[in-house]
Amino acid sequence: MTDSNAEEVPLDPSVEYEIGQDNIQTSLGPFGLDIHNPVFFVSGLGTVAFVLITLMFPEAATTVFGSIRSWLTTNFDWFFLIAGNIFVIFCLLLIVTPLGSVRLGGKDATPDYSYIGWFAMLFAAGMGIGLMFFGVAEPLSHYGSSVAEGAGGPDSWAPLAGAAGDPEAAARLGMAATIFHWGLHPWAMYAVVALALAFFSYNRGLPLSIRSAFYPIFGNAVWGPVGHTIDIVAVFATLFGLATSLGFGAEQAIAGLNFLFGTPQTDAAKVILIAGITAVALFSVLRGLDGGVKIASEMNMVLAFILFMFVLFVGPTALLLSGFGASIAAYLTELPALSNPIGRTDDNFRQGWTAFYWAWWISWSPFVGMFIARVSRGRSVREFLVCVLLIPSLVCTLWMAVFGGTAIYEAQLGVETLLEAPTELKLFTMLAELPLAGITSFIGIILVIVFFITSSDSGSLVIDTITAGGKTDGPLPQRVFWCIFEGLVAIALLLGGGLAALQAMSVATGFPFAILLVLMCVAIWIGLSAERRGTNL
């Protein structure tokens, strides 16, 4: 993969690039699949085996999934918190050092997109099923754990427990905790992967694959078993991170359908819903990137904007706008306490919320990172990091401030059903207190479903790219395979333990990839330093 605008860096192609190509070469196999040595076979067969075993032994799977999550978050919550801090500090360090002046694609490279177009795509990357599922649920849960009877319960962040009896303090601290989980830390994780993929592909001519980022550390070993292992871990992390999001989406969509139309919330209904949505996603895959996912994404952005503006202007507008600034101030004030891994007593909050979130974001990072990398050529590292950290973080904060702020305002007015509603139903319960509830709730369901479709389609492309050795034009049957099995994994996890199983597999795959992300920071530093000197890696 080369760039006509890229600066010629004095590499040794016969040692670096050609060896890479020889060892990650692809071959057309059965059913038209573009087989990338062991990566496709291991990850593909592993996925098939996981689905079959989970569906055959759902009760045993439930026990195993629960044990996995509990063991990892209990014993390694400190690692997730420290790793998250490392990613934020690393990105900030690159911004202020001379390495930030390195341009992705070479010093003469020009951006492929205008600022407006680029910001729009970063905005799109920041939107997803997670914001629909947690946009109301998380701020309200933190608020409720403080003001409800039994304040300071097992899920409470310690300062929230101390805010019992003070609704304003509870709202402020609840928003701070929410933004912490959706602000700088997750976007630093995405930025690390995106920067590594963009730099080593555009500046060093390596394939657009996760293994390429580790060339400065492992050298030519990345084209052998070491690299295969890295890519396989990335595939499983992406697959289960996506399955978690798809599972959340299915739970919320079926809850919304039950809320509006009385659709039964049974396992069979969830399976039918996921199968139907996966079929639509498959149609999107067959239509291609421009004819499928692009149209769906544009429709989703319009619907999300309409719903956002409706809640903003029909809800307590002045309170929400002032709350946006107050929420950012609260987040920055409480950031040191929230990110501190030492001497904490709020174990369930730290493990059940933060450690899970960090694992989920890390498992999503190959997916979001590759998308960001593909639209960011021509930006300087400094420009890239400032925008990737700030733009999506502000979008997520604004969304949470409006939807979560409206829900908290309604709860303060005495709408007890909001605090009592299941997590997947809180969005619809909040909308029910506003005008045109039937219409807005239906739009919310459509948003969740279309986010499901675009995530499945885009995820198929990313996993296909990794398993095909960095090729972005792999054969259609391979993307079809991954699209189908993303849906099957989500079904298997829902039947094998529900949301707890989804969260368990995100943590299980996010943990090893977190280790790789820490090493990736080292590789990026080495690569950027070599670029500044104009030398080989």
Backbone angles phi, psi at 144, to 5 degrees: -65, -35
- Report whether 194 contacts 368 (CB < 8 A): yes
Structure confidence at residue 312 (pLDDT)? 96
The alpha carbon dihedral of 250, 351, 68, 485 has a sign of positive
Q: Evaluate whether 236 touches 510 at the Cβ level (below 8 Å).
A: no
What is the predicted pLDDT for the residue at 145? Answer: 79
The residues near 233 (Cβ < 8 Å, ≥ 6 apart) are: 509, 512, 513, 516
Q: What angle do CA 311, 248, 433 make, to 5 degrees?
A: 25
Rounded to 5 degrees, what are φ and ψ at 380? -75, 160
- Residue 434 has phi, psi (to 5 degrees) of -110, 165
The distance of Cα 421 from the centroid of its chain, to the nearest Å, equals 25
Biggest CA pair distance of the chain: 71
Residue 47 to residue 509: CA distance in whole angstroms: 13
Q: Supply the DSSP symbol for 435.
A: T
Report CA torsion sign: 309, 315, 321, 324: negative
Question: In angstroms, how far is the first alpha carbon of the chain from the final one?
Answer: 18
SS3 state of residue 139: helix
Distances from the Cα of 210 to the Cα of 47, 86, 107, 124, 520, angstroms: 19, 20, 24, 22, 9
- Helix then strand then coil, % of the chain, to nearest 5: 80, 0, 20
Residue 337 burial (10 A CB sphere; 0-12, 13-18, 19+): middle
Q: Please tell me the distance from the alpha carbon of residue 524 to that of residue 509, in angstroms, as a whole number.
A: 22
Place of tokens 């050609």: 18
Helix (H, G, I), strand (E, B) or coil at 5: coil
Are the CB atoms for 397 and 331 separated by under 8 Å? yes
- SS3 of 400, please? helix
pLDDT computed for residue 63 by the predictor: 84
Closest C-alpha among 384, 315, 284, 354 to residue 83: 354
Nearest to 237 by CA among 87, 125, 53, 366: 366
> What DSSP assignment string belongs to 363-413?
HHHHHHHHHHHHT-TT-BHHHHHHHHHHHHHHHHHHHHHHHHHHHHHHHHT
Alpha-carbon gap, residue 227 to 231, rounded angstroms:
6
Cα(421)–Cα(144) distance, rounded to whole angstroms?
11
Residue 208's CB is within 10 A of a number of other CB atoms, namely 21
CA–CA gap between residue 146 and residue 161 (Å, rounded) = 5
Strand partners, 520: none
As a whole number of angstroms, the distance between CA 144 and CA 423 comes to: 12
pLDDT tens, per residue, the chain with 537 residues: 333 333 333 333 333 333 344 444 444 555 555 555 688 889 988 989 988 888 888 888 888 887 888 888 889 999 999 999 999 999 999 999 999 999 999 888 888 888 887 877 776 666 677 888 999 999 998 888 776 544 444 456 777 766 667 788 889 999 999 999 999 999 999 999 999 999 999 999 998 889 999 999 999 999 899 999 999 999 999 888 888 888 888 889 999 999 999 988 888 888 898 898 888 888 777 765 555 556 666 777 888 899 999 999 999 999 999 999 999 999 999 999 999 998 888 888 898 899 989 999 999 898 889 888 988 899 999 999 999 999 889 989 999 999 999 999 999 998 888 888 998 999 999 999 999 999 999 999 998 888 878 777 778 888 888 887 777 666 777 888 888 888 888 888 888 777 777 778 888 889 999 999 999 999 999 999 999 888 776
Q: Distance (Å, rounded) from C-alpha 482 to C-alpha 475? A: 12
Helical ranges in 157-293 per DSSP H: 158-161, 167-182, 184-198, 215-218, 225-261, 267-287
Query: Which residue, chain included where needed, has tokens 């309409």?
Result: 306
Cα separation, 41 vs 28, in Å, equals: 13
State the residue for tokens 């969304």: 399
DSSP-derived 3-state class of residue 385: helix
For 406: left if phi > 0, alpha if psi spans -120 to 50, otherwise beta; the answer is alpha
Task: Tally Cβ neighbours within 10 Å of residue 410.
Answer: 22
Please report how many Cα atoms fall inside a 13 Å half-sphere around the Cα of residue 110, on the Cβ side. Answer: 1
